[in-house]
Amino acid sequence: MEPKEVRGIIAGGGTGGHLHPGLAIAREICRRSENAELLFVTGRRKMELDILNRTGFLQASIDVEGLKGRGWFKGLRALVKLPLSFFQSFSIIRGFSPNIVIGVGGYSAGPVCVLSRLMGIPSAIHEQNSYPGLTNRILCRVVDRVFISFEESRAHFPGGSLLLTGNPILEEFLAGNTKSGEKNQIFTILIVGGSQGAHAINRSMVETLKILKERGKVPGVIHQTGETDYKEVVEAYRREGVKGEVLPFIEDMGRAYSQADLVIGRAGAATVSELAALGKPSILIPYPHAANRHQETNAQMLVRAGGAEMMLEETLSGQRLAESLMRYMNDRPALTEMGQRAKKVGRGDAAGIIVDQLMEMIK
């Protein structure tokens, strides 16, 4: 039996990889409880506000910045802001009166979860990546439960009650049928480097498409570039005479995934989880500067299952990408099997498992 009323705060953000799982959890709560009232507490990044403004959920911002790897000046500025962020968080929690709080990663989760503990409110965190972020490594001893997406992350938490749940995925990302292996259709590649794009992938992909064109292979292309590289990539496509649907940001990822035979992108936790749940074969190019190179560990889940190929950015080139793509374009059955292997390790029920736990904590 579900609680009669759910008043929840979902704290965190900074990237779509943090916010999207939070949104999936929020929607699962609303599906179960007609009386649910949910509030997202984030920082003040435009991306966070843009994503949440489209959802209709309540949102509040606090002034908080990261400390790690920012240099002494920015680190000092972040420390000066900490008392303010705790005061703002206290005011938000007292005004909203939640009966559950969950942090989804990102610096704004820190003050909210710490104060929830001090105020006697049940709380939990969710970690998307194989190597947990600094905020969650601190909070694991503060909150009541810790939900993890990868078994590998368990060893990096110094404490807490850990439960392997997988990474919650938005329903619209799972919409539509896969088309891998279908005959008489244009082979379509989806290039996505995360919400901010990926310069190395953008640069190599234009060269790859040029090589494919010279060899008589003209795939369909959906290419998310990020805002920074958008104009440069559009101009490169025009200059090299290659065609594709080039976008700074893909609003309808469900459509993009459903059209793709193969995905090329980074190995953020959200991307890896979506590919597995959808059964999409992929070429993963981990971001080399991620903390403890955790994107490589993320990617290994799919690589070990036979559902993805991994290329390190240090060895990435247009030529190498072109050779891999031609191999897959010429062997659709192998691509279909690759997708099936990816799907075997997918977990589409993460949001439900997490909400089961949250409801139990409220009761």
Paired tokens of 115 = 């104060």
Query: CA dihedral defined by 328, 334, 336, 338, rounded to 10 degrees?
Result: -90
Q: What are the counts of helices (DSSP H) followed by strands (DSSP E) for the chain?
A: 13, 13
Per-residue pLDDT of the chain (363 residues; tens, 9 = 90+): 566 689 999 999 877 778 999 999 999 999 998 889 999 999 888 888 888 988 989 999 998 876 555 555 565 666 677 889 999 999 999 999 999 999 998 889 999 999 999 999 999 999 999 999 889 999 999 999 999 999 989 999 998 899 999 999 988 887 655 554 444 479 999 999 765 568 999 999 999 999 999 999 999 999 999 888 999 999 999 999 999 999 998 888 889 999 999 999 999 998 999 999 999 999 999 999 887 888 999 999 999 999 999 999 999 999 999 999 999 999 999 999 999 999 999 888 899 999 999 999 997
Q: Which pLDDT belongs to residue 184?
A: 47
Measured CA to CA, the distance from residue 246 to residue 230 in angstroms comes to: 8
Q: Where are the alpha helices (DSSP H) in 33-133?
A: 46-53, 71-96, 109-118
Paired tokens of 227 = 């805002």
Q: Which pLDDT belongs to residue 3?
A: 66
Looking up tokens 């958008």, which residue turns up? 230
3-state secondary structure of 102: strand
Quick one: residue 241, left, alpha or beta (phi over 0 = left, psi -120 to 50 = alpha)?
A: left
Q: Which domains does the chain have, with CATH numbers?
A: 7-169+348-362 (3.40.50.2000), 173-344 (3.40.50.2000)
Q: Which pLDDT belongs to residue 16?
A: 75
Looking up tokens 């597995």, which residue turns up? 276
What stretches of 177-235 adopt beta strand conformation (E)?
A: 188-192, 220-224
Q: Which pLDDT belongs to residue 49?
A: 86
Q: Which pLDDT belongs to residue 1?
A: 57
Q: Which pLDDT belongs to residue 2?
A: 66
Q: Which pLDDT belongs to residue 183?
A: 47
What stretches of 162-288 adopt beta strand conformation (E)?
A: 162-164, 188-192, 220-224, 245-247, 262-265, 282-284
Q: Which pLDDT belongs to residue 291?
A: 78
Q: Which pLDDT belongs to residue 81?
A: 72
- CA of 111: how far to CAs of 10, 19, 358, in Å? 12, 17, 20
